[in-house]
Structure 1
Amino acid sequence: MCTTQDVRDPAEPRTSRIRGVSRRDLYAAGAALLLFLTALFVGRAIRAEEDVLHIRWPPLYAYWDPHVGPGTVAAPLVALLVVAYGPVLARRLSWRGVLLAGWVGSLLWTWSLALIDGWQRGVAERLTTKYEYLQSVPDVHDIGHTVRTFTDHILLNSPDNWPPHVAGHPPGALLTFVGLDRIGLAGGGWAAVWCVTLASSAAVAVLLTVRALGDSGSDGTAEDGSDGARKGGSADGLGGGELLARRAAPFVVLAPAAVWFGVSADAYFMGVGAWGVALLALAATRRARAPRAAAVGAGLLFGLVLYLSYGLVLLGLVCLAVLAAARTARPVPYVLLGMLPWVIAFTAAGFWWFDGYTTLVERYYQGSARFRPYGYFVWANLAANVAVVGLATAAALRHAGGALPGAVRGLRRAPARGEAALVLLVAGAAAAVLAADLSGMSKAETERIWLPFTLWLLPAAALLPTRGHRWWLAVQAAVPLTLNHLLFTGW
């Protein structure tokens, strides 16, 4: 069993009246909640004057629908177990046990939240609506022809134009569900199982990444020979990365983002991207037995990601943060080598990525994007994602922001370790979110579209004082439980 140490700014008051929770953390969480409420009231005022937002419950793509379902009992029970036992198990289990518990916990949490809406409405029908991929699966008779003519059906005025989600992504997304159909896993239920399983596995990828980047060595000693505990390690020999990953594990499991894991295709994209980042981190830190093979594997996943969603090129900012933290570019040629087969295959089949993207931009402004005001969504998008990452993450980002300058300066001397590595990883995710926001290509629905980026903000909760972890976990759980019982989220 390992011991933990609080991460605290010596200049701040020690705690509020809530044991182990600092006042400044509460202020940060309160500011995030205020941002969300402001976006809600401003959005409702805009809708009342003229509905240019085209969402019923701004800033979220949802509508008011108080309800209960099979998950009404299961979801609070899962939350209670994680709050009560998550931090203890994260400290005491073996590392492999933590990873297994993280995946199982994330699966249970996601499924229980989805089932609040019931099996049909909450799971089986999610990917079968008129906007979704499964609507187009019966139309794909010849995969080669589909890829070759894919761009011809993106625009609204084109013959047999694709539904919004098919048109909004490269052909890899549609072909995934075509592939499931062809092997006998047809329909919305199997598509949901695919998305939820991969999305929940991202919890393991996050923990592996945090551990790989942050560990100062298996003996808990930093490269300069000083005591690992002072560098973010622990007294019993755990490296700083593993200690931080264990602290983060319950928060990654109990993520409010699980509302959108179950069930959206973006959660599947997130899972693929997360494992790419994890393999890159293992390659960059040489913690994989075969670093070059890990880098090629990362490239294969990133290549797939390119043909699942155009916007995921911004995942490159998270990758840059990983390479910066490790202070190396060694994996880059092997990553590019891994990506190459996808580029060659899709290009040879007749789909040119840049043509697809530029045509999509035109389609985007044929639809509701031409009405939705940039001046509202450029900040309301961020407000919507308060519901995705939760108030604990908002409080933790205060710690990450304060530590970022020191983490960057430290790179002049050596690769980042411990908390510095985690801070850089979180900064890369924040940069990806801000870039996506400023681009104007995501006006609303960012609670699901940005999942591949917001996922990497969740482990910042490891920076919160450990004595307050159970309280913050309860706050995290309250957000999705409230949302899924009062709203019906759609996409």
Structure 2
Amino acid sequence: MTELKQSPSAEHERRSWPALLSPLSDLLVFLAGALLVWRAWVVGERLLARGVNIYLDLPPLFASWAPHTGPGTVPAIVLALLVVIAGPTVASRMRWGPLLAVTYPVTLGWMFSLTMIEGWSFGVVTKLSNPKNYLAEIDRVETVASMLRHFTERILLEPGSWAVHVSGHPPGVLMVFVWLDRIGLGGGIAASVFCMLVGSTTVLAIATTLRALGEEHIARAVLPFGVLLPGMVWMGVSADAMFAGVTACGIALLAVGTSRGDRRGDLAALAGGILLGFTLYLSYGLVLAGVFALVVLALTRRLRPTLFAIAGAAVVVVLFTVHGFWWLEGYELVRIRYYQGIAATRPYSYFVWANLACVVLVAGPAVLAGLRRLAMAPRRLALGARLLTVAALLAIAAADLSGMSKAEVERIWLPFTMWLAVPCAVLPRGQHRWWLAAQAALALLINHLIITRW
């Protein structure tokens, strides 16, 4: 029998269909995300009209509609253009060490510029010093030891209880701000700058984790997308930016340590374990970051550095426990306190899906397209990057279903959503600048059209 051969035109048509369908599918997933955001706004407004107090002026976001510009407008636009134009080339060609050294100030500058769109006073000075926030309680702390012993006694809503944010978190975050105050870095400015400095390490730590897992090419592709992730709008200024930075650095040190297998690796793993142990005392929800650690340990599979990491985390837990704070007791009391406040009138049936609209805004269109392409062809991304993406999605899903994150997740879930920059690596290289431009445009639109409370 004679083998039938396709004509050149038929072969060209066969190859062109996927090329035509991919952008169309990306557009459809973007429209689906936009529809979810719009629907969350419509339903939220209906709840408010019916008298259901969801404590949101612009559902599903904890924000207010207020078009404005500010001192950070021009620098933010300039930095966005710089990353869009030069980011992919610099990330692919520069040596690793200098690349991280360049990425950090650019990330910090972008975050600070976005913050300054709201002005120096509102954007920086008062963000962490209002009566409901951490700094309001510093003067009530005589010593850290006594604070730890009596911390749980002030969680429930009653006379003398902690401010809202302090009572809703373990004592580690208050400890950080107390330590800053004790060394002469008290007040809203120092606290805000500290959170931005630590938060800016998140992108570098995510890339370092990927490189330690042997996926440097993916790490380089992810860096510009991490910098311009719209979630940076909420990274500056919020304590959750600090949580994201500490968590990501802990995972990065764990990945470096368990992938080396030498003495330096043991020390890195020990340091990573200490940081990850401390994250448990920054936010109860960060226990879900354990899925990232499990991914790293499953991929590296080295016993000795793993034991060092476990020992580091155990030391932190033991120190907090012997000084009077038992994590499980604190969590149980927080569950009660949560429903003593605004959570009591925020309906789970709305926020369990409206929260995901916030994720769409934090992640941006490039992440939606990356997730779609990854779902269609998972092997286009290396195993470590795939599993870290799945870990982020699992953490978000667990936090969402728990009912302990009803609203404000654009800020609360930053330690998880920042990792969603990873699937952007599957986007076609030739389209990276366009997707980066879309990410930057969304971030700038959000920051100029609404006033975020964080």
Shared fold by TM > 0.5?
yes
The answer as to 2:341 corresponding to 1:367 is yes
CA contact (8 A) 1:13 1:23 kept: no
Letter in 2 for 1:457: L
Q: Which residue of structure 1 lines up, in the alignment, with residue 37 of structure 2?
A: 36
2:438 pairs with 1:464: no
User: Following superposition of structure 1 onto structure 2, how do residues 308-323 of structure 1 map, counting pairs within 5 Å?
Assistant: 308-323=282-297
Whether the 8 Å contact between 2:258 and 2:306 is mirrored in structure 1 is no
2:349 counterpart of 1:344: no
Deviations 1:241-272 (A, max 9, x none): 11111111110111211111100001101110
Q: Which residue of 1 aligns with 2:161?
A: 161
RMSD: 1.8
Q: How does 1:129-168 map to 2 (within 5 A)?
A: 129-157=130-158, 159-168=159-168
Residue 258 and residue 355 in structure 1: after superposition, are their counterparts in 2 closer, same or farther (change >3 A)? Answer: same
Which ranges in structure 1 are unaligned for 5 or more consecutive residues?
1-8, 216-240, 408-417
SS of residue matched to 2:434: helix
What is the 5 A alignment of 1:208-227? 208-213=208-213, 215=214
Tell me what 1:178 maps to: 178
CA contact (8 A) 1:403 1:420 kept: no
Deviates more, 1:282-291 or 1:355-364: 282-291
Q: Is the 8 A contact 1:419 1:463 kept in 2?
A: no
What percent identity do the matched residue pairs reach? 47
User: Alpha-carbon deviation of 1:121?
Assistant: 0.2
- The 5 Å alignment of 1:88-127 reads 88-127=89-128
Give the match for residue 381 of structure 1.
Answer: 355
Shift of residue 288, structure 1, vs aligned partner: 7.2
Residue 99 of structure 1 contacts residue 207 of structure 1 at CA under 8 Å; is this kept in 2?
A: no
How many Å apart are 1:66 and its aligned residue?
1.4
Cα distance change of structure 1 residues 10 and 95 upon mapping to structure 2, 3 Å threshold: farther
Deviation at 1:164, TM superposition (A): 0.8
Q: 1:42 Cα deviation (Å)? A: 1.4
Q: Give the aligned partner of residue 278 of structure 2.
A: 304
The residue aligned with 1:442 is: 405
1:37-52 maps to which residues of 2 (within 5 A)? 37-52=38-53
**1:290 corresponding residue in structure 2:** 264
Displacement of 1:359 after TM fit? 0.5
Deviation track 1:150-194 (CA, whole Å, cap 9, x = no partner) reads 11111112x311111100111111011011011001110000110
CA contact (8 A) 1:52 1:373 kept: no
How many Å apart are 1:23 and its aligned residue?
2.0
- Displacement of 1:325 in angstroms is 3.4
Which residue identity does 2:241 align to in structure 1?
A
Query: 1:207: Cα distance to partner?
Result: 0.8
SS of residue paired to 1:275:
helix
Q: CA deviation at 1:472?
A: 0.5
1:75 is displaced (CA, Å) by 0.7
The one-character-per-residue Cα deviations of 1:293-343 (angstroms, maximum 9, x if unpaired) are 221111100111011111100001121222233355654322210012211
Separation of aligned partners in 1, 2:261 and 2:255: 8
Pick from 251, 254, 273 the counterpart of residue 247 of structure 2: 273
Contact 1:325–1:425, Cα closer than 8 Å, also in 2: no
Query: What SS is found at the alignment partner of 1:13?
Result: helix
Change (3 A) 1:173 1:60: same
Match of 2:327 in 1: 353
**Structure 2: gaps of 5 or more residues:** 1-13
Number of matched residues?
441
Deviation at 1:428, TM superposition (A): 0.7
Indicate if the aligned counterparts of 1:59 and 1:384 stay in contact, CA closer than 8 A: yes
User: Out of 428, 439, 447, which is 1:476 matched to?
Assistant: 439
Letter in 2 for 1:315: A
**2 CA distance for matches of 1:384 and 1:397?**
16
Scaled by the length of structure 1, what TM-score is found?
A: 0.86
Shift of 1:480: 1.4
Q: Find the aligned partners of 2:261 and 2:31 in 1 and give their Cα distance.
A: 39
Q: What one-letter code is carried by the residue in structure 2 that aligns with 1:182?
A: R
Match of 1:258 among 206, 229, 232: 232
Distance 2:373 2:39 in 1: 24
Q: Check the 8 A contact 2:238/2:411 in 1, yes or no.
A: yes
TM-superposed CA distance for 1:344, in Å, is 1.7
Structure 1, 95-104 or 72-81: larger mean CA deviation: 95-104
* SS, match of residue 355 in structure 2: helix
- Tell whether 2:210 aligns with 1:245: no
- Determine which of 374, 381, 384 is the counterpart of 1:400: 374
Which residue is equivalent to 2:306? 332
Q: Is the 8 A contact 1:255 1:390 kept in 2?
A: yes
Offset of 1:464 from its aligned partner?
0.6
Specify whether residues 15 and 124 from structure 1 end up closer, same or farther in structure 2 by C-alpha distance, changes over 3 A only: farther
Change (3 A) 1:310 1:292: same
Letter in 2 for 1:486: L
Q: CA deviation at 1:51?
A: 2.9
1:485 match: 448
State whether residues 403 and 423 of structure 1, in contact with CA within 8 Å, keep that contact through their aligned partners in structure 2: no
Q: Which AA in structure 1 matches 2:211?
A: R
Aligned mates of 1:343, 1:11 — CA distance in 2? 57
CA distance in 2, matches of 1:243, 1:402: 21
Q: C-alpha separation between the residues in 2 aligned to 1:328 and 1:53?
A: 48
User: What is the CA–CA distance in structure 2 between the aligned matches of 1:392 and 1:67, rounded to whole Å?
Assistant: 26
On the 8 A contact 2:389/2:423 being kept in 1, the answer is yes
Letter in 2 for 1:14: A
**Correspondences of 1:50-89 after superposition (within 5 Å):** 50-89=51-90
Q: Give 1:313's aligned amino acid.
A: V
